[in-house]
Amino acid sequence: MRKRSLDALGIGWQPPRRVMLAAGVLAALLVLAGAVAWWTGRGQSTDASAPHTGSSASPKSTSAPVPKPPPGGSKVAGPPPIADPLAFARASAVMLWTFDARTTSRDDQLAGMHTWMTGETAYADWDSVQAQIPDPLLWSRLKDNAQHASATTSEAHFPSAFKQALAENPQAITEAYVYAVTVRGKTQLAWAGGGGGAEDRQITLAVQCRPGRDCRLVAVAPRVAP
């Protein structure tokens, strides 16, 4: 058996090792493979003048345990009922960029984030999503500093490589209905003592929007696709 490939996104996406695919399906998607191989490094803008809230963890080679929902429900807003990949990607970006270390534990944050994930484990790359928040030590420091952030998005679009791949084989999307979307926006940061700042952000997400269903998050790219 060969690994299931989401190269149909046209962005060189590499899934977790556990994911498999029958050779026939892989052959059907092969025409969409081989676009830009940028899925190898993180392309996220940072602001050195403010305490950094981006991930300090790297995606692991094996799947991490799924966090349990916190008692009384998560403090992270759940996924909205959206069936449009661009709109859902924007909502997902806001969710990923928003946090409040004053009131939310790291485990609670992860549990809330997980509710946005697709239930189709053959496609879900939870490691890439949870890697977007700091490790436990840094999260505790954010809490000590009362750091929190809100976010807005300015635009979302399908990366050029994805559009080109889809144009070459429009039927390939019907295997998984997974779309690559790049989102741009801004976070507003604040911390103890009246400190604060703004940070421009951009991210490329894989979202699944099957016909007749609300969209769900699949993965986060470690590098932004133009």
Q: Could you write out the DSSP letters of every residue in 23-56?
A: HHHHHHHGGG--S---TTS------TTS---S--
Question: What does pTM read for this prediction?
Answer: 0.72
d(CA 77, CA 99): 10
Residue 62, φ and ψ in degrees, nearest 5? -120, 155
Contacts of 62 (CB under 8 A, 6+ apart): 16, 17, 18
186-206 pLDDT, tens per residue? 999 999 999 999 999 999 999
Asked if pLDDT for residue 53 goes beyond 80, the answer is no
